[in-house]
Amino acid sequence: MDPDGEGERPLRREPSGVTASDPPLSSSSSSSSAAASAVCARGHPVLRPAVPVPSDIEVSQSIVRDVGLLPIEIVASEAGILPPELLPWGIGKAKVMVAPTLRRLADVPDGNYVVCTGINPTPLGEGKSTTTIGIVQALGAILGKKAFACIRQPSQGPTFGIKGGAAGGGYAQVVPMEEFNLHLTGDIHAISAANNLLAAAIDSRMYHEDSQSDDALYRRLALAKSGMPFTSVMRRRLVKLGIDDTKSPEDLSTEERSKFARLDIDPSTITWNRVLDVCDRHLRKIEIGIGPAETIQPRGTNKGEVPRVQHSRTTGFDIAVASEIMAVLALARDLPDLREKLGNMVVAYSRSGMTVTADDLGCGGALTVLMKDALLPTLMQTVERTPVLVHAGPFANIAIGNSSIVADRLALKLAGEDGYVVTEAGFGADIGMEKFFNIKCRASGLKPKCAVIVATVRALKMHGGGPPVSAGKPLPREYTDENIPLVRAGCCNLVKHIENARKFGVEVVVAVNQFKSDTAAEMEAVREASLAAGAFDAVVANHWAEGGRGAEALGRAVIAACEASDVGNFRFLYDLALPIRAKVETISREIYGADGVDFSELAEQQMAQYESSGFGNLPICIAKTQYSFSCDPKAKGVPTGFRIFVREIRSCVGAGFLYPICGDIMTIPGLPTRPGFYDVDIDVETGQVIGLF
Amino acid sequence: MDPDGEGERPLRREPSGVTASDPPLSSSSSSSSAAASAVCARGHPVLRPAVPVPSDIEVSQSIVRDVGLLPIEIVASEAGILPPELLPWGIGKAKVMVAPTLRRLADVPDGNYVVCTGINPTPLGEGKSTTTIGIVQALGAILGKKAFACIRQPSQGPTFGIKGGAAGGGYAQVVPMEEFNLHLTGDIHAISAANNLLAAAIDSRMYHEDSQSDDALYRRLALAKSGMPFTSVMRRRLVKLGIDDTKSPEDLSTEERSKFARLDIDPSTITWNRVLDVCDRHLRKIEIGIGPAETIQPRGTNKGEVPRVQHSRTTGFDIAVASEIMAVLALARDLPDLREKLGNMVVAYSRSGMTVTADDLGCGGALTVLMKDALLPTLMQTVERTPVLVHAGPFANIAIGNSSIVADRLALKLAGEDGYVVTEAGFGADIGMEKFFNIKCRASGLKPKCAVIVATVRALKMHGGGPPVSAGKPLPREYTDENIPLVRAGCCNLVKHIENARKFGVEVVVAVNQFKSDTAAEMEAVREASLAAGAFDAVVANHWAEGGRGAEALGRAVIAACEASDVGNFRFLYDLALPIRAKVETISREIYGADGVDFSELAEQQMAQYESSGFGNLPICIAKTQYSFSCDPKAKGVPTGFRIFVREIRSCVGAGFLYPICGDIMTIPGLPTRPGFYDVDIDVETGQVIGLF
């Protein structure tokens, strides 16, 4: 994998490749032939898709210009959110006050919980986000159901690098797409601020500990404000150390003072990186603290006795969404849980092997304060004015790659018994869906009924052995001409994902996300294979070109699947009480189809350490390539006869999982020679954004 | 100066030092004896200050709890902002759509423009922000004028380090203070994102240039999207290079292609740092690009011919508010000007001495898109429900330390002919006020009528030779007991600032920000000295304890000064056409009272370079200590017989000024042993923030 992606930009639909004379593949009553004034049953204008479909930003801007955004207060009120529960937040966005809303709706039964996932991605694109949005447009705008999409906030950095936005696409997207893709309501910025405050606290604490005696440290930490009691975060450390937390700072013994004040961080154990929401490869590995002021007189020495020592260290930056704080945001149930998880994050170990947490560093409260607004999901709308909750966006490479528990809980209560919540899981179903079930649903207690697995004929052809493709070159004929054998061969990938989903006891609906070149026979081949593999249904959908109307059949299939589903059947793949090794093996064999797992010596040591530290009962969040069931991104289809190699196992103790590293995992991308920002500008007269994609 | 501030926390008012039996110094009809239901002429509850004055966060939270925030839509409507011109943005905040508002008000005469500044700061505190807010509370809530405060957004990093918030204090503050001090509406986060995108673009461009031929570079930059014309930012580079910008990418000659594609940055000339809004001393100086993936095969060599070369570089982080983008935000007049200024920022020079700008790197448009919302000022309210515009906050150490031109322009139109806009200038008047007049007013064309110079009896005593003070220790008697000679001696500092302000042709009102221990005779001494120095008036004010009522006399003095002032008298201190040297000398002699200026050899070279690059006509923004008229922070009062030494001269070509460095300037603070974050936590049941100060 070239993480800087010269030529790695996924092949996006090329609107210019479709001429104006091409009719849409299926006609619909909402096509451009409909009357301008047509309104739907909800009283909103019926979507009138243009042919050919313009670029995503043009669709978004044309909706805002020609149809108008529904004021977010109205979106909220139609979604069942009361005015005092809403915080409008810039153009077309609002945050929802979760706690009072959930209190009010405590007795309402949850809606139908649907996860949208996909086959293993290929450069040809599958359209998980687009389909997630398409389904709720169908359910909400066409079929008259209360329907919410819960999607992740995209990382802003890659938007200016090689990756486009993530608001969906065509006529199945969240608007305004500029607002969605830029800053949104600042949650990722809050994560960066919190992450980097903690990072500064680590290095600065080591700096002060390395140059001060226990007595001086304790005086400054606990006695500086004379007569003041321990602060709440200090009392947490006292409890951890087994010191009576009702004592006054003056009352600690010398030994207790030393234990309290000296974290004694072993620098080699620090796992906490700084973060930026920018593609900046030069920050992957850096040396910090090399300036003239970052020297210390080592404690216990006198001035001039030994030369001052440079207080430097090798570390690195990750992209902001890779921060454990993002993982915490996705998995926190509410504000008290957020406070606990943030305080419990382990950033290093002491020289005696004790965990060093954010609360030990005095930061847990401040981090929570920085994150208090970020805990509120952002309400936006689709092009058909149905509600979308945008929240969290943990890096699927190393974390769960799912939207938040908070947003899903909120949406399920707002949807109510007859309503639907479609939440998106990142990467292929072997990663995103597995983590959704085993980690997110376990943490939330919420029970899904249905998994929608998105596939495209083109991508299946690649899994069936079709030739590689590259950006800027015409697609090989295999992908543009009918080729039933290639489709049939590639369905193996889809089939394995269907079988995997069935292991969790949910119904499966396959969504064939339609491209112009797909033929009826090809699509039928996918449908047959899906039903044979145990899918409840398999439906072709054309929401990209037609909006909700294009996904109407898909929406009906989801409704039927939910009606047929019994949440009592939902089950996890493994028991948390199993040893770490057994949990990794279960996922690898059952989901990936591996013959077994090999652990490096380091990984063996880490398993022993985590189990002795009491972290052995955490769920497992495997970090591996999204492009294959195996760890080899080139192994398409359903590879067999392979083993999984676990190089090391890292922990997100605050968020609540362990993540074995299987393969090369890149945690901050770079910029290609011609980054996406070259296209981006602003019309200074209108303020209109140009060139986002 | 110890930039990490062990014991450097400014001495703040200690509410606990005042007992409940202490009566307020002056009684007022709005004190706590007033009826609970009393409303003012505007129909709002009359402020009922508690005695003793609680902590700032307690005042803020008690206003929100007991009186209630005025919905920001109502604040806006009372301020004359129409609903479509307002973007509500979270709790108690909204952004104002400047362009349509200014278009609507184009024919309205500007209000009275007042700058609030102070004597040279001391650890005893003067209260510029508090007085800025106090005056508008007096003008707006007590005297019935349309009155706006324009203040800076505080840097969030130091809030968790050693510095408290900057929302004012006591009963003269912006509420809710947590919203003001945390994230606000994300402008500083937008600056960080933009600044760091540009930084990544620099290193990544050098990386690609160092490893690719001209042809490969050009192909990727200009020809990757075959048949597509140059993007708008590319056309700007063509114009700069003198190449016909109507040509297609295919039509450039080999020589033109090379000129276009190769920026050929000289790494030793890069002045662009990365930024974070965190106090993180270990990032002051760092080595980047030391990872295994950040190596290159040098261009012109074949694989394996020479070893790959590490693509590393020494650089550093500044605090976000020190970014040139913040300076641009403060000085941009509107969106088109923002686009030009951002694109024109010079980040380095080529090996042949040509400037390398953000537009050369292809970033100017993307930076503007990232900053488009940040260009809109944030509307908030004081504890007396009068409007406040919060915008920008350039680091006074190296930039102008003033709020934005956009906010001031907007407020002046909203205030109208009979209204008042009080804008705050950071640091002492020798820095903040001088830059306000010579740089900000020159860029805006706006003409101020009055300067309010804030002083306290205590701080003047220190300028008069009073002993040093230190945190945690009781104040020396000189500051708590009446000492007229010390006050008289210290008035020299105030007098010099008054005389300086008069050179610009504005009226001066001195605000004596009252402390409990000040005696009537001491305050009278300040008044006498002020009037003798040419002040229009000098007034004691007690807004901290009493709100607007406590600054009523000050408000009346400001009104009278504005009525007496003739904007036709306003003049700059120097002509832009003067040589750089002469401009620096004029400021140093006229404002600081220096005998002259010495320039290092480097500074001499830089002056020559800037003048030959066409930057010689920019205004001068001197970077020096705020604690003294001289460059020696310990030289209180009015030092004489000193010279200014200019070590180097840096440029902010985009923002539009040159900044000579006089003394040690720290651009990212560190954290003390016990940072402020130890006090910060959240009540997880109520969501209430605890311990911000």
Let me know if B516 is exposed, middle or buried by CB neighbors in 10 A (0-12, 13-18, 19+): middle
Residue of A48, A93, A163, A409 with catalytic role: A163
- Best residue of B96, B342, B681 to probe chain A, by most A CBs closer than 10 Å: B681
CATH value at residue B230: 3.30.1510.10
Length of chain A: 693
| Cβ within 8 Å, pair A369-B234 | no
Please report the DSSP string for A316-373 in residue order.
-EEEGGGSHHHHHHHH--SHHHHHHHHHH-EEEEBTTS-EEETTTTT-HHHHHHHHTT
Asked if B89 is an active-site residue, the reply is no
Same domain, A452 and A515: yes
pLDDT digits (tens, 9 = 90+) for B406-460: 999 999 999 999 999 999 998 999 999 999 999 999 999 999 999 999 999 999 9
Within an 8 Å CB–CB cutoff, is residue A223 touching chain B? Answer: no
Question: Residue-wise over A498-528: b if at least 16 C-beta within 10 A, else e?
Answer: bbbbbebbbbbbbbbbbbeebeeebbebbbe
Identify whether A52 is preceded by a cis peptide bond (ω within 30 of 0): yes
* pLDDT at A143 (0 to 100): 97
Same domain, A554 and A623: no
CATH value at residue A657: 3.10.410.10
* Residue A135 and residue A116 in contact, taking contact as beta carbons nearer than 8 Å: yes
- Please indicate whether residue A472 or residue A178 has the higher confidence score (pLDDT): A178
Query: How many domains, in total, are found in chain B?
Result: 3
- Mean pLDDT score, A617-631: 96
Average pLDDT, chain A: 92
Exposure of B211 in the CB half-sphere (CA atoms within 13 A) = 19
Same domain, A355 and A481: no
- Mean pLDDT score, A269-295: 97
CA distance B668 to chain A (A): 12
Residue of B89, B427, B437, B615 with catalytic role: B427
* pLDDT at B470 (0 to 100): 81
CA distance A280 to chain B (A): 5
Q: Classify B428 as helix, strand or coil.
A: coil
CA distance B89 to chain A (A): 4
Residues 6+ apart with CB under 8 A from B626: B120, B121, B396, B427, B428, B431
User: Scanning every residue of chain A, which has its alpha carbon at the shortest distance from the alpha carbon of B361?
Assistant: A678
Q: Classify B78 as helix, strand or coil.
A: helix
Same domain, A40 and A111: yes
Asked if A152 is an active-site residue, the reply is yes
Is residue B684 situated within a structural domain?
A: no
Within an 8 Å CB–CB cutoff, is residue A321 touching chain B? Answer: no
Asked if B128 is an active-site residue, the reply is yes
Distance CA B385, CA B43 (A): 11
| Cβ within 8 Å, pair B200-A279 | yes
Site of tokens 């707006």: B140
Please report the DSSP string for B563-605 in residue order.
HH--GGG---SS-TTS-HHHHHHHHIIIII--SEEEE-HHHHH
Site of tokens 């915008």: B391
Q: How confident is the model at residue B163 (pLDDT cuts 50, 70, 90)?
A: low
CA distance A368 to chain B (A): 7
pLDDT digits (tens, 9 = 90+) for B241-300: 999 999 999 999 999 999 999 999 999 999 999 999 999 999 999 999 999 999 999 998
Is residue B343 situated within a structural domain?
A: yes
- Mean pLDDT score, B672-686: 93
User: Scanning every residue of chain A, which has its alpha carbon at the shortest distance from the alpha carbon of B359?
Assistant: A678
Last residue of a domain, one of B371, B394, B419: B371
Please check the confidence at residue A151 and state whether its pLDDT lies above 90.
yes
pLDDT digits (tens, 9 = 90+) for B98-156: 999 999 999 999 999 999 999 999 988 789 999 999 999 999 999 999 999 999 999 98
E-strand ranges in A19-140 read 86-88, 94-96, 112-118
* pLDDT at B654 (0 to 100): 97
Residue of B101, B117, B122, B130 with catalytic role: B130
| Cβ within 8 Å, pair B690-A99 | no
Within an 8 Å CB–CB cutoff, is residue A88 touching chain B? Answer: yes
Within an 8 Å CB–CB cutoff, is residue B289 touching chain A? Answer: yes
Same domain, A236 and A114: no
E-strand ranges in A360-485 read 378-382, 387-390, 420-424, 450-455
Is residue B674 situated within a structural domain?
A: no
Asked if A166 is an active-site residue, the reply is no
Same domain, A198 and A164: no
Measured in degrees and rounded to the nearest 5, phi and psi for residue A292 equal -60, -30
- Mean pLDDT score, B648-653: 96
Within an 8 Å CB–CB cutoff, is residue B177 touching chain A? Answer: no
Is residue B673 situated within a structural domain?
A: no
| Cβ within 8 Å, pair A220-B190 | no
Q: Which of A426, A427, A431, A369 is nearest to A392 (CA)?
A: A426
Within an 8 Å CB–CB cutoff, is residue B565 touching chain A? Answer: no
Asked if B163 is an active-site residue, the reply is yes
Please check the confidence at residue B19 and state whether its pLDDT lies above 80.
no
Same domain, A544 and A651: no
Please check the confidence at residue B524 and state whether its pLDDT lies above 80.
yes
Please check the confidence at residue B2 and state whether its pLDDT lies above 70.
no
| Cβ within 8 Å, pair A278-B362 | no
Q: How does DSSP classify residue B49?
A: -
User: Scanning every residue of chain B, which has its alpha carbon at the shortest distance from the alpha carbon of A295?
Assistant: B282
Measured in degrees and rounded to the nearest 5, phi and psi for residue A276 equal -140, 150
- Please indicate whether residue A159 or residue B417 has the higher confidence score (pLDDT): B417
- The Cα-based distances of A628 to A465, A494, A664, B5, B311 in angstroms read 13, 12, 14, 53, 32
Q: How does DSSP classify residue B110?
A: P
CATH value at residue B418: 3.40.50.300
- The percentage of chain A sitting over the pLDDT mark of 90, rounded to a whole number, equals 86
How far from the centroid of its chain's Cα atoms is residue A223's Cα? 43
* Residue B209 and residue B217 in contact, taking contact as beta carbons nearer than 8 Å: yes
| Cβ within 8 Å, pair A224-B472 | yes
* pLDDT at B223 (0 to 100): 85
Within an 8 Å CB–CB cutoff, is residue B369 touching chain A? Answer: yes
Within an 8 Å CB–CB cutoff, is residue B123 touching chain A? Answer: no
Within an 8 Å CB–CB cutoff, is residue A221 touching chain B? Answer: yes
Please check the confidence at residue B359 and state whether its pLDDT lies above 60.
yes
Within an 8 Å CB–CB cutoff, is residue A687 touching chain B? Answer: yes
Asked if B95 is an active-site residue, the reply is no
Q: How confident is the model at residue B37 (pLDDT cuts 50, 70, 90)?
A: low
* pLDDT at B21 (0 to 100): 32
Same domain, B248 and B380: no
Last residue of a domain, one of A371, A399, A428: A371
- Residues facing B116 on adjacent strands: B424, B452
- Mean pLDDT score, A527-556: 97
- Mean pLDDT score, B590-612: 97
Is residue A495 situated within a structural domain?
A: yes
Residue of B148, B180, B515, B615 with catalytic role: B515
- Mean pLDDT score, A123-149: 94
Q: Domain limits at B30?
A: 15-185+376-569
Is residue A631 situated within a structural domain?
A: yes
Asked if B427 is an active-site residue, the reply is yes
Within an 8 Å CB–CB cutoff, is residue A681 touching chain B? Answer: yes
User: Scanning every residue of chain A, which has its alpha carbon at the shortest distance from the alpha carbon of B209?
Assistant: A673
Same domain, B194 and B95: no
Last residue of a domain, one of A371, A402, A418: A371
Q: Which residues of B touch A685 (CB under 8 A)?
A: 336
pLDDT digits (tens, 9 = 90+) for A213-272: 999 999 999 987 778 899 999 999 999 999 999 999 999 999 999 999 999 999 999 999
Same domain, A417 and A348: no
Is residue B97 situated within a structural domain?
A: yes
Is residue A25 situated within a structural domain?
A: yes
Asked if B272 is an active-site residue, the reply is no
Q: Which residues of A touch B85 (CB under 8 A)?
A: none
Average pLDDT, chain B: 92
Same domain, A280 and A396: no
Same domain, B97 and B207: no
